[in-house]
Amino acid sequence: MKILTKKSMCNLALVIVLLIVLVCIELFAPATSMWFSVLRKVFTFSLAAVSMNLLNGFTGLFSLGQAGFMLLGAYTYAVLTIPTDLRHTVFRNYGDSIFNFQLPLVIALICAGIVAAFFAYLIGLPVLRLKSDYLAIATLGFAEIARGLVQLQQFGPVTNGPDPINNFTAPKNILVYAAIAGVCILIIIMLIDSTYGRAFKAIRDDEIAAEAMGINLAHHKRLSFVTSSFFCGIAGAMLAMCNTSVSSVSFTSSMTYQILLVVVIGGIGSVSGSLIAAFIYYASSEWWLKFLDLETFTAAGTKIPLLGPGFRMVVFSVLIMIIVLFFRSGIMGTREIDVYGFFCKLAGKGKAKKAQEGGAN
């Protein structure tokens, strides 16, 4: 292991502080607090965004199959963790489930990743020959096909057809979500910092030069695609836990675009950017801007015109446009969070405090 530098010590301190905040929220916040549902989503989509960033930001493969891989992960996780005595009630329209066992959470999560990665490997064989927009279209097509296929009656005993799956293991504790996302993101960061990560970045920057340096393009692209899909599958399983119910209708391509938006806002090629953006995005859209949808909302005794269902998205879209206009390459660009450098700047220039919340955990 590397010797801990001041920089990494400071980042570690930030992670610990955030972890303490998280534990405090879990222990002391009232059970009805929005923190819980928002943070569960934030952790889920942080992982999805970071895994998409591994592919789009670090390897330069523009793929839009995220919803498809999340769907595979979610279904795998859900099907494998229904308690055996409840199976026949969930699958009542199809006699019974073909699986008659219940796996522990961690193993089911890994299975979710493996199933997503396996399908990524299969479709990667033909699809990874394509470049840029064509790859995006092909992977988007895959996601839609996957969504269509799981609804088929013939797959009923496995996927419960078009009916939702529920009653599976779904922990409520936000620390569980934090732990899953944290471990997975840590693995992705280690991959990015390894020689493989450097090769991914080289492919992103210039394919021909990378090939001339002896980097096997097909092998590395496949590795990145399969790894990214593995973690996407786990993110899908986390989403299943969040929603306590899995149904193919929720894995539309608009979910992929949400993740893409998080990646772009955070900065294509920045892990900490994705994390910050995931927090801002889901906290705003699910919580902070919710009041805009209420017609009855009043500020200082006066009713604000235009407020009503759907107005939240108008404001939200405007906010996104502003962010994209003023942060051309996202909030973080390709940089990573650097607490030490930040404090150095603060001490040196006495600069105004920047929003650093939602950082590297």
Partner 1 sequence: MSDIKNYEIKDFQHDSEHTQKEKLLEIKNLKVQFGGIKAVDGISIDMRPGRIVTLIGANGAGKSTTLRSIAGIIKPQEGEIIFQGENITGWSPDKIVSAGISMCPEGRKVFPNLTVLENLKIGAYLRKDKLDDDIEYVYSLFPRLKERHWQFAGTLSGGEQQMLAVGRALMSRPKLLMMDEPSLGLAPLVVKDIFEIIKTINQNGVSVLLVEQNANMALKVARWAYVLETGHITMEGRGEELLADESIKEAYLGKQKTK
Q: Does residue 198 touch partner 1 according to CB under 8 A?
A: yes
When the beta carbons of 172 and 222 are compared against partner 1, the nearer one is: 222
| Rg of the chain (C-alpha set) | 21
Take residue 65 and report the two structure tokens written for it: 């199959």
Binding partner 1 (rule: CB under 8 A), the pick from 5, 216, 298, 317 is 216
User: CB–CB of 55/61 below 8 Å?
Assistant: yes
When the beta carbons of 88 and 201 are compared against partner 1, the nearer one is: 201
Binding partner 1 (rule: CB under 8 A), the pick from 32, 100, 153, 195 is 195
- Give CA–CA dist 66/140, Å, rounded: 8
When the beta carbons of 35 and 327 are compared against partner 1, the nearer one is: 327
- Give CA–CA dist 23/29, Å, rounded: 10
Q: Does residue 293 touch partner 1 according to CB under 8 A?
A: no
Question: Which of 108-116, 126-134, 211-219, 234-242 is the region at the interface with partner 1 (rule: CB under 8 A)?
Answer: 211-219
Residues 233-272 that bind partner 1 (CB under 8 A): 269
Q: Does residue 5 touch partner 1 according to CB under 8 A?
A: no
Q: Does residue 199 touch partner 1 according to CB under 8 A?
A: yes
Q: Does residue 202 touch partner 1 according to CB under 8 A?
A: yes
- Please return the burial class of 318, using the count of CB atoms within 10 Å of its CB with bins 0-12, 13-18 and 19+: exposed
By CB under 8 A, the count of residues binding partner 1 is: 19
Show the CA angle centred on residue 81, arms to residues 78 and 83, nearest 5°: 125
- Give CA–CA dist 157/31, Å, rounded: 36
Q: Does residue 334 touch partner 1 according to CB under 8 A?
A: yes
When the beta carbons of 167 and 334 are compared against partner 1, the nearer one is: 334
Q: List, in order, residues 6 or more apart from 237 with CB less than 8 Å away.
A: 73, 74, 76, 77, 78, 108, 109, 112, 113
DSSP state of 130: S
Binding partner 1 (rule: CB under 8 A), the pick from 40, 87, 147, 204 is 204
User: CB–CB of 112/44 below 8 Å?
Assistant: no
Q: Does residue 179 touch partner 1 according to CB under 8 A?
A: no
Residues binding partner 1 (CB under 8 A): 195, 198-199, 201-202, 204-206, 208-216, 269, 334
